[in-house]
Amino acid sequence: MKDPRDERGFFRLRRCIASPAITVYLLRVLRKIMEFHSSHIPPLLRAVLAGNASLSEINSLVRHAHHFALVRLKQLLASGRLHLQSFPITLESTAIDCIAELFERDSDGVFIELEYFYSVEHDLSQLTNDDIIAHFRSLVFTKLNDGIFRLYRENDPVFSKILRNLKIAMEKTPGVSTIERFGITYLLFSLDEERNIHLPEYPLDEFEKEAAKRFRHGDSSGNFLSVLRSVLTEQDQYRRLYSLFDCAVLLKRISALRMIPIEEIFDSEHTLMEQDIQSVVERTLHQIRNDLCKRYVHSGKFTRAVFDRYFSAIEEMIIDTFVRSDGSEKSYDQYLQRYVEELTYDKYRKYHRVQFEYMTKLAKKAVREQLKELL
């Protein structure tokens, strides 16, 4: 036999749910849940890339990206791996600021980043809906990670210096390399087959205590990376990779704990301050050329001849922009016309624009970042 109190409780609950205020609230929550269901992303992306998306559909795709970024930011904050409290910007604003570049449009209204990503990097027509969602999430995380680094450059000069010099030290430290996972740069401290990626990540506080025991006054950033490598490779409980961002957090904490000045850790040979703009531009162009060659030629997307023509035009544009400062009057197609015979503006727009302008954007971004570190 039912307990009368249960019966009364049921009716009270039913009356509560039936009240207008609660009904409106529940409908709002349900609408919010439905709004961010990932299954909406593929049709929205197809409409946006086809150029026939309504303003409402574009805004909806932006909200999905913002939702992914915001959830990821909250995860980073909760884990103690991100500290934005001192920044003059809200969490919601941070998320949208970090992914804004993803939705930039050119003069024709084309979302050039999305267009490139889903036409050159990944053919949208060949992807399943699940793949489209996974790639979109990864792209958002990549932009978010880039944005976080930029925020620290603008708001925390010490942390920015640590990140910059760790990147330089990493290139000179044996046994340390990088990998991208979910848009985040991780440092690898072991062979591929020894990463133990199935294991949990080394807790930041525990890692800090162990690394602090081994780091001494007079050690450089290269020594610091060697210390991290030894800590990670001598244990089997946790995976043997760590995000570059977390490594910088560790070094900043250890520096404060041991009262070791950052300037003492970063030897002058690890800075770019003594190099002039010309050498920075040339070195960065050489690096980005190799990176783009792997992406386009080795994957079979371009022939070597086509790639060489593209990059010759990009190189000329970069030098004009950053060294001579006299390239502002020439357009993208005018630069490429010097290296592609009988190239008209219509042919440029139809066959070359997306790939060429995206490659140029990557090259400019790489050079700009290096010059920021110099200046």
Range with top average pLDDT, 24-38, 200-214, 346-360: 346-360
The gap between the terminal CA atoms of the chain, to the nearest Å, is 81
- Cα(40)–Cα(47) distance, rounded to whole angstroms? 11
Q: What is the pLDDT of residue 61?
A: 92
Q: Which two tokens stand for residue 66?
A: 């913002």
**278: confidence class by pLDDT, cuts 50, 70, 90:** confident
Contact 251, 273 (CB under 8 A): no
Query: Taking a C-beta distance cutoff of 8 angstroms, is the pair 178, 223 a contact?
Result: no
- 14 or 316, which is more confident: 316
Residue where the block lists tokens 């950052």: 262
Note the pLDDT of residue 253: 79
The 8-class DSSP code of residue 269 comes to G
Residues counted in the chain: 375
Are the beta carbons of 199 and 215 closer than 8 angstroms? Answer: no
Q: What pLDDT band is residue 34 in, cutting at 50, 70 and 90?
A: very low
User: What number is the average pLDDT over the span 155-183?
Assistant: 75
pTM tops 0.75, yes or no: no
CA nearest neighbour of 291 among 205, 363, 215: 363
**Among 44-48, 87-91, 315-319, 370-374, where is mean pLDDT lowest?**
370-374
Residue 180's pLDDT is 75
Query: What's the per-residue H, E or C state across 152-182?
Result: HHHHCHHHHHHHHHHHHHHHHCCCCEEEEEC
Beta-bridge partner residues of 179: 186
CA dist., res. 217 & res. 370, Å (int): 29
Q: Give the side-chain half-sphere CA count within 13 A for 254.
A: 30
Per residue in 311-354, pLDDT tens? 999 998 888 877 765 545 678 888 899 899 888 888 888 888 88
Q: What radius of gyration, in Å, describes the C-alpha atoms of the chain?
A: 25
Tens digits of residue pLDDT in 297-313: 887 888 999 999 999 99
Geometric angle at alpha carbon 127, from 122 and 132, rounded to 5°: 80
Residues 6+ apart with CB under 8 A from 277: 322, 323, 371, 374
Report the share of the chain in percent with pLDDT over 70.
Answer: 75
CA 248 to chain centre: 16
Q: Is the dihedral of CA 127, 131, 135, 140 positive or negative?
A: positive
Report whether 366 contacts 288 (CB < 8 A): yes
Residue 176 burial (CB count, 10 A): 20
Q: How do residues 1-12 score in pLDDT, each as one tens digit?
A: 444 444 444 333
Looking at residue 8, its pLDDT comes to: 42
Average confidence score pLDDT of the chain = 77
> How far are the Cα atoms of 21, 81, 215 from residue 233, in angstroms, in the given order?
57, 22, 16
Q: What is the largest CA-CA distance in the chain?
A: 90
Distance CA 63, CA 67 (A): 6
pLDDT for residue 126: 82
3-state secondary structure of 100: helix
| Helices 244-258 and 157-172: angle between axes, nearest 10 degrees | 110
